[in-house]
Structure formats: structure tokens, C-alpha cells
Amino acid sequence: MTQGLGNDRETSIVMRCHDMQLLLCDELEALADRLPSGADRQHCLHLARAVYPLVVSTHEIEEALLFDPLGSLAGRVPDVPATLERLRFEHQSDLCFAEEIHDALLAFGRGEPVMTADAVGYLLRAFFEGVRRHVAFEKEILVPLLALVRPVSRSAS
Ligand SMILES: [Fe+2]
């Protein structure tokens, strides 16, 4: 559904953010599937350090290049303000998850786990399943709406 919007530089950046989040979800799912004995400690440390900065940066970009422009649709699409508020709340919730994941994977990678492997797996799954649903909504519903606030003549430049 988002095909054809890729010429718009800002839309492409948002789509790249979505791709990065989905790749992170795939990595976290693969890790959750390998816990506890098949998990590589160095990989846990790598993911621990990557998850929070990636979530922060992608959310900042989405909010600036996706949510803010769509806010101008409030007069034409009544549900937009409530939807954007819900998505911003989901971003905050994901940040909290990302912090917990950072701490859990750092401890696991250092061989000093403070949570059971089952608890870490549950935490990872709760995060990546929520992020996948959130990203799917943004990709399928919000990104196409950008065409309403960024006319084709501008996006083609
Ligand atoms: Fe988002």
C-alpha cells in the first residue's frame, strides 16, 4: 500500500525507520527462540546496547516526519488527534520496554542474569509483538495519509 510514496524523501526515511524496527524485532525473536542455552552472550550484549538508541531515534524521526505532519489533518479526519496520541503513548511504552530489555540483556550477556530465561523471553516477545503491530498500523494506515499533507508536486522534487 505504501508503494509509490517512496519518491518522497521524508516518507522514505520513515519507511526506513519501520524496516529497522522490524529487523530489530526479528533479531529479538530469534534470540527469544534460542534462550537460554542457545543464546550467545556477545550477541546479547550487542542487542542490549542497540535496542534503546534505535527505539529512541526511530521514534524521534517518526514523530517529526510522520506524526507532526499528520496533525494538520485534524480538521479533515476527526480521529487523527486521538490516534496520534495513542501512538505517542505506545512509543513511550516501547521506550520503557526497551530500557528493561537493555538491562535484562546486559545482565544476561555478562553472565549475571537477574531474570529467568523465561522472563526475558516473555519480555522480548511482549516488546516485539507490540512493535510489529504498531509498525504495521503506521505503514498501512498512516504513511499513505502523508499523501494528503504532502502533495505529489512537492514530493516529486
Ligand atoms: Fe511508531
Question: Within a domain: residue 2?
Answer: no
- pLDDT one-digit tens code per residue, 19-69: 999 999 999 999 999 988 888 999 999 999 999 999 999 999 999 999 999
| Arithmetic mean of pLDDT, 106-119 | 90
Supply the mean pLDDT for the chain: 90
Q: How many domains does the chain have?
A: 1
CA distance 148 to 144: 8
SS3 39: coil
CA distance 2 to 22: 16
Closest CA to 54 of 90, 86, 91: 91
CA 106 – ligand 1 centroid, Å? 25
Instruction: Report residue 26 CA to chain centroid gap.
Output: 12
**pLDDT at residue 4 above 80?**
no
Give the domain range for residue 67: 9-151
Question: Within a domain: residue 88?
Answer: yes
Question: Within a domain: residue 157?
Answer: no
- Angle at which helix 117-137 crosses helix 9-34, to 10 degrees, equals 160
Question: What pTM does this model have?
Answer: 0.88
> What are the cell numbers at 72?
494538520
Instruction: List Cα–Cα distances, 105 to 4, 44, 102, in angstroms.
Output: 39, 5, 5
> What are the cell numbers at 55?
527505539
Task: Please report the pLDDT score of residue 78 as a whole number.
Answer: 84
Task: Please report the pLDDT score of residue 75 as a whole number.
Answer: 84
| Arithmetic mean of pLDDT, 88-96 | 98
- pLDDT one-digit tens code per residue, 57-84: 999 999 999 999 999 988 888 899 999 9
CATH of the domain at 109: 1.20.120
CA 69 – ligand 1 centroid, Å? 14
CA 117 – ligand 1 centroid, Å? 28
Question: Within a domain: residue 3?
Answer: no
